[in-house]
Amino acid sequence: MNKKGKKKAAVGTGTLIGAGIAALIIIFLLNPNWLPFSEKTTSKIAELEKANFLIERSGQITLAHWLTLLLAVCVVWLLYTLGKLLLAVLGKRNARARTITTMFIGGLKYLAVIAGVVWGLRILGVDTTAILAGIGIIGLILGFGAQSLIEDVITGLFIIFEGKYSIGDIIVLDDFRGIVRDIGVRTTTIEDAGYNLKVVNNSDIRNFQNRSRNTSLAVCLCSVAYETDLRALEKMLNESLPDMYLARKDLYLGAPRYLGVHELADSGVVLKFVADVKEENIFAAQRALNRDIRVLFADKGVEIPFPQVDVHQK
């Protein structure tokens, strides 16, 4: 089974489990007396424990507590799954919405774990108030040594709400160019053209380029011989360049443009051509533009010079 098939199977299994848990919760809500933490059910389970397992559990954790804990875990998991599905649906609107919902999903995961642990401890009879107070003091102490973590989280929030980049944008960070695949609470994940992932702390993302906000330019520099009649060549280009767009609509956003003489080089006159393209197509469009200009010049008999050396012998 390939990766796609395994993913579909996992999704199907998760859906069945979620449906089963949802059905159990509905049954318990319609029949409260069946709930393991109800007084009637608790006393019956305690009697069964005493009769079958010879266990006296007065004032201690009973099987009813464990069943209640299991139900609580199922409720937390179901609420987390429903919240995740709802955020995923909202995130399909656009890249901006997907970026925001991705961060909220990450925060929802942490919240679900914390809520599950606290609720579970309360079910087992543990005084969570004292524990939370102790955790607060410890967190305050650790906070002074976790300034980078706090900085990552705060920077991540600013990235989300300022909208400097979103999931799916192409950015250049230092010398790494790639697509933003994930923006988490602490880190941002970028994938380059070779499918290599770079995970960067949000606080380390300072100087970068967002290449997806505007159209990009594919550039071609091509030389012609000094003997070339530029007036006739430019007239031919005006007639031929629109045809390139018709043949490359999947890459070019419009007809390639001739910008004029870029340089008077040693071996020829360098001409400059550009084409508006999407950033994700920049490299493919660059190669296509170079090829199209070369083929056009070959078909029209335009000479493309190359460096030559004259050797004079005495």
| Among 23-37, 145-159, 208-222, the range of highest mean pLDDT | 208-222
256, 274 Cβ separation under 8 angstroms = yes
Residue 133 makes CB contacts below 8 A (sequence gap 6+) with: none
pLDDT tens digit sequence for 42-75: 566 556 555 544 444 445 666 666 777 787 788 7
- What the block records as the tokens of 180 is 């933003």
pLDDT (mean) for 97-106: 72
Q: What is the rounded average pLDDT for all residues in the chain? A: 76
Give the burial class of 165: count Cβ atoms within 10 A of its Cβ; 0-12 exposed, 13-18 middle, 19 or more buried.
buried
pLDDT score, position 54: 42
Query: Which CATH entry fits the domain spanning 216-300: 3.40.50.10190, 3.40.190.10, 3.30.70.100, 3.40.50.2300?
Result: 3.30.70.100
Query: Per-domain residue ranges for the chain?
Result: 31-144, 151-210, 216-300
What does the block give as tokens for 122? 């309360």
d(CA 158, CA 154): 6
Span 261-271, average pLDDT: 90
Domain 151-210, CATH among 3.30.300.20, 2.30.110.10, 2.30.30.60, 3.40.50.10470:
2.30.30.60
Candidate from 27-36, 120-129, 186-195, 235-244 with smallest mean pLDDT: 27-36
Percent of the chain with pLDDT over 70: 68
Residue 127 vs residues 58, 124, 134: alpha-carbon distances, Å: 19, 9, 12
CB atoms within 10 A of CB 20: 11
Query: Across residues 206-215, what is the average pLDDT?
Result: 81
Look at residue 111 and tell me whether its pLDDT is greater than 70.
yes
Integer Cα distance of 114 and 132 in angstroms: 11
Beta pairing class for 208-210 and 170-173: antiparallel
pLDDT tens digits, one per residue of 1-40: 444 454 444 445 555 555 666 666 666 565 655 555 555 6
97-111, 231-245, 294-308, range with greatest mean pLDDT: 231-245
Q: How confident is the model at residue 84 (pLDDT cuts 50, 70, 90)?
A: confident
